[in-house]
Structure 1
Amino acid sequence: MVTSKETATPRRISVFDTTLRDGEQAPGNAMTADQKLEVALAVQSLGVDVIETGFPAASPTDFKATRTMSEQLNDDVRIASFCRSVPQDVETAVEAGGTRRHQIQLLVTGSDLHLEHKRGITREQAYAEVRAAIRTAKELGVTDISVGIEDASRGEHDLLRGYCEIVMEAGVGTMALGETSGCMVPSEFADLTHTVRQWIPADTVLSVHCHDDFGLAVANTLAGLEAGADEMQVTLGGIGERAGNAALEELAAVMLYKAEHYGFTTRIKTERLHAAYQVLTRAIAMETPRNKAIFGAYSFATQAGIHQAGMLARPETYEYLEPSRVGRERSLLVGRHSGRGILTHLLEQLDVPATSELLDELYYEYIASRVGGECDELHVVRESLAQRFAQSAGVAAR
């Protein structure tokens, strides 16, 4: 099995962002063309390599968005358009986005299950479709073509190998493996990726596209990269069909902190991740979960007394990821699980002696008397205490 740890220099991983296609097509995530451009500009600022604009042949909004992005995104990023293996789709995509720094991604059917029950066609017909679509793309002047195999994770090896042979014959530059149903565990997906990697030339980009039905999209993506894939297809916040896609921010954080372990490198500017996510959540009116990795409302917050005691002494006791490195801030909350340590900390900041009697009084008032899960930001409690002791000092002075 190919692993980057066997090489002396880091292996550059390409980042293909499909927030505006796979992410946007999921229920509740639809955007206007202007919103898609706003999100695209935020994603571009992260340093991704490719931004998939949408499905121009399926939607006037995606057609407009593709055209606008082709005109307004800078030359550091390529755009990609999603197409079925149908000449008309290719023609529409080229009309929308031109051919300069524009990848045409052709969807092919990767399993007999899909061929029989979704498409109602034979393998030979599927192969003929993609050959015709590739031919159309080349006739239109497209130089960047990707063949994306849907449901590759449930595809029979001889079917998949047939697509690989077409890719080699046509000189297609990229092949993408779709773990479309999220059915594999990392060792299985690594085996599949390694197998396909042996079937295509070393200079053909192998991309992996994983879904999160088992909660393993990030793990499977990493397994695929370790097994020889060159590119990861991801979405901001992990949005996408059903349970979502591999989350860009989680993979970027892993590669930032585990660079020595994996030997991978990307262009991602991790400190800009959260700002880009906020642009996305505003565009699709998506609430932020409390406990999501990297972007969760409380991912870098704690109210537990034992944790707070450690973090007040040294943040890394419980904080392996540094919030600032992914565009976040640390937050200590005061709630019913907090301890006297946080109150002592606040009193020290206010230069008020932390006597045991005072701590007992404040502990009951601010912590023990709370019910449910409500809690306050540290600055709110600090302000309350500041006002209280300012008043006390005033009374004492009189």
Structure 2
Amino acid sequence: MKRITILDTTLRDGEQAPGNSMTLFQKVELALMLENAGVDCIELGFPASSKTDYEASKFISSKLNKTNYATFSRANINDIKLAIESGGVSERHTVQIVATGSDLHLKNKRKITREQGLIEVKNSVSFANQNGIKNIALGIEDASRADLSYMKLMIDEGIKSGANQIIVADTTGFATPTSFSKLIKMIRSWLLPNIKLSTHCHNDLGLALPNALAGIESGADEVQVTLGGIGERAGNTSLEELAAILYYKKNDYEMFTNIQIEKLYGIYNLLRKFIQLEEPRNKPIFGKYTFSTAAGIHQQGMILDPNTYEYVKPEHFSRERSMFISRYSGRNIIKYALSTLDISLDSKKIDELYFECIEKKSANYFDNFQNLIEILKNEIKIPKQNIQ
């Protein structure tokens, strides 16, 4: 069974999205918690982007105890110089060098030729290698829209110059699982087994997670993720969703991670607090109501056996299941609530309580199970002999 490594880029790609700015000490706290949760590598930041990112990368790297860490650089000497200064020359430090993959980016953003792009790769990777960096990752920006023949030249140049990892970035969320699988298989066929292959997928079409899964099925060794899927535009591959799938479906994929999934929800709530992120209602794993139900049919099943409607277990993520009361709830929820009070009533009284406590309420009435119990306590004003 293959272990998939996880690089978390919450502190870099996650933070660079609007509204996600964090202080240095907030980043340190998150980084240490991610380390404790089993993340293999934490991307610290983009040192050349600002003095703040430079100092943050330097400080956070000094606080991590065992986890590997990465810095982000463009394919130019000054970026890499600052990355090495901030992250240090360490076997735990991966210098990520992002090269321009697609002609669209070369012409319209960079305004350089393919030949100039190859020279950038050679010079920047060689500089990192000559300055003692053992882990050099060449990232191909917009790889899913790049010309394959040019991308092969770029990858060959990068490896010849000292890179030992390739990052395939679906920068705009352009790829589909089918196309991304073909791309990863092709790139894997170009590489020797000792060259690590990573995916970096964006979620513009909601395909970041399916694309990442297609990537590891097709030969990728690592997935770059963010906590809660935060990041540029629609975000990145979600750490908790990927970890959950490889926890529940590891036999299907014959792959696993070292992520301790029970620790993720606490880190996510801290992240939400730091960046003032609203709590989503229905997000997988972390949604407010992900482990809740308000439908009578589902509640009846959950009361008898939670497995009827609960494949993903709340306790695996340090969460709790709950039942909410709505106009879709049925009489079984009344019976169940009464059973928690050791009360048994006849069907006529159950009908009366259902009418008073649920049906009579407005269509918008929505409350939790514990409140139903309190309401029932107030409603039950009958002689003891009528309690069966």
Name the TM tier (shorter chain). over 0.9
Instruction: State the partner residue of 1:152.
Output: 143
| 1:121 maps to which of 91, 99, 112 | 112
Instruction: State the partner residue of 2:357.
Output: 366
Instruction: State the partner residue of 1:82.
Output: 72
Could you tell me how far apart the structure 2 residues matched to 1:206 and 1:373 are? 51
- Please tell me whether the aligned partners of residues 53 and 80 of structure 1 are also in contact (alpha carbons under 8 angstroms): yes
- Equivalent AA in structure 2 for residue 89 of structure 1: D
- Please tell me whether the aligned partners of residues 125 and 158 of structure 2 are also in contact (alpha carbons under 8 angstroms): no
Aligned residue pair count: 384
SS of residue matched to 1:15? strand
Q: Are residues 1:94 and 2:84 paired?
A: yes
Q: Are residues 1:16 and 2:7 paired?
A: yes
Inter-CA distance 363–202: structure 2 relative to 1 (3 Å threshold)? same
Over residues 358-384 of structure 1, what are the superposed CA-to-partner deviations in whole Å (9 max), with x where a residue is unaligned?
Answer: 222221222112334442221222233
Gaps of 5+ in 2: none
Inter-CA distance 136–296: structure 2 relative to 1 (3 Å threshold)? same
Q: Which runs of 4+ in 1 moved over 3 A?
A: 386-389, 391-394
Gaps of 5+ in 1: 1-9
Counting aligned pairs with the same residue, the percent is: 46
Alignment of 1:180-259 (within 5 A): 180-259=171-250
Over residues 10-49 of structure 1, what are the superposed CA-to-partner deviations in whole Å (9 max), with x where a residue is unaligned?
Answer: 1010101111111110111111111111221222122011
Instruction: State the partner residue of 2:159.
Output: 168
Inter-CA distance 385–140: structure 2 relative to 1 (3 Å threshold)? same
Q: CA deviation at 1:61?
A: 2.4
Alignment of 1:1-398 (within 5 A): 10-75=1-66, 77-100=67-90, 101-386=92-377, 388-389=379-380
Q: CA deviation at 1:297?
A: 0.5
- Equivalent AA in structure 2 for residue 118 of structure 1: K
Instruction: State the partner residue of 1:3.
Output: none
Could you tell me how far apart the structure 1 residues matched to 2:156 and 2:9 are? 26
Q: Does 138-147 or 317-326 show the bigger shift? A: 138-147
What is the root-mean-square deviation in Å for CA atoms of aligned residues? 1.6
- Please tell me whether the aligned partners of residues 290 and 296 of structure 1 are also in contact (alpha carbons under 8 angstroms): yes
Could you tell me how far apart the structure 2 residues matched to 1:196 and 1:345 are? 57
SS of residue matched to 2:155? helix
- Please tell me whether the aligned partners of residues 47 and 83 of structure 2 are also in contact (alpha carbons under 8 angstroms): yes
Q: CA deviation at 1:137?
A: 1.4
TM-score (norm 1): 0.93
Over residues 104-147 of structure 1, what are the superposed CA-to-partner deviations in whole Å (9 max), with x where a residue is unaligned?
Answer: 10010010010000000011111111221112212322111101
Could you tell me how far apart the structure 2 residues matched to 1:376 and 1:107 are? 50
Q: Does 164-173 or 316-325 show the bigger shift? A: 164-173
